[in-house]
Homo-oligomer: A and B are copies of this chain.
Amino acid sequence: MAFRTSAPLTEEIAERINWLGQIGRTDNGGVTRLLYSDSWLKAQTAVKQKMEEMGLSARFDDVGNVFGRVEGTEERDRVILTGSHIDTVVDGGKYDGAFGVLAAMIAVSRLKQEYGAPKKTIETVALCEEEGSRFHLAFWGSGSITGRYQLSDATTVTDGQGVTLEAAMRLMGFGQGKYPAARREDIACFLETHIEQGQILEREHLAWAPVSHIVGMKRMIIHLSGESNHAGTTPMTGRRDALYAASQMISDVISHAKEQNNGLVATVGQISIQPNVGNVIPGGCTFALDVRHHEYDVLHDFCTKELEKFRLIAEKESVDLDSKTWLDDAPVKMDPAMTQRHVSLARKAGIPFKTMVSGAGHDSQIFGTYCPTAMMFVPSHNGISHSPKEFTKLEDLETGVRMLMKILREMAY
Contacts and interface: CB of A to CB of B under 8 A. Distances in A.
Interface in A181-213: 196-200
B251 A385 contact: no
A14 to B, nearest CB: 25
Contacts of A268: 243-244, 247, 282
Interface in A366-384: 383
B258 A247 contact: no
Which of A198, A215, A270, A383 counts the most B-chain CB atoms under 10 A from its CB? A270
A95 B197 CA distance: 58
Given A219-B278, A243-B250, A244-B254, A234 B269 contact: no
A267 B237 CA distance: 13
A359 B232 contact: yes
How many copies of this chain does the complex contain? 2
A403 B196 CA distance: 75
Contacts of A385: 230, 233
Contacts of A281: 267, 269
B231 A267 contact: yes
Interface string A232-274: 1111110001011011111100100110110111111111010
Contacts of A200: 233, 235
B263 A231 contact: no
A69 interface: no
B258 A251 contact: no
Given A247-B246, A250-B247, A232 B292 contact: yes
A194 to B, nearest CB: 11
A229 interface: yes
Which of A257, A267, A273 counts the most B-chain CB atoms under 10 A from its CB? A267
Interface residues of A, number: 59
B290 A231 contact: yes
Nearest to A244: B254
Contacts of A271: 243, 271, 273, 276
Contacts of A217: 232
A161 interface: no
Interface in A267-296: 267-271, 273, 275-282, 288, 290, 292
A295 to B, nearest CB: 15
A212 to B, nearest CB: 15
Contacts of A276: 269-271
Contact of A233 (B235, B244, B360): B360
A384 to B, nearest CB: 8
The list of the 6 closest CB pairs from A to B, nearest first, reads A198-B233, A232-B359, A231-B267, A247-B250, A278-B288, A247-B247
9 contacts: A198-B230, A231-B290, A231-B359, A233-B359, A236-B254, A243-B271, A246-B247, A269-B276, A270-B276
Interface of A: 196-200, 215, 217, 219, 229-237, 241, 243-244, 246-251, 254, 257-258, 260-261, 263-271, 273, 275-282, 288, 290, 292, 358-361, 383, 385-386
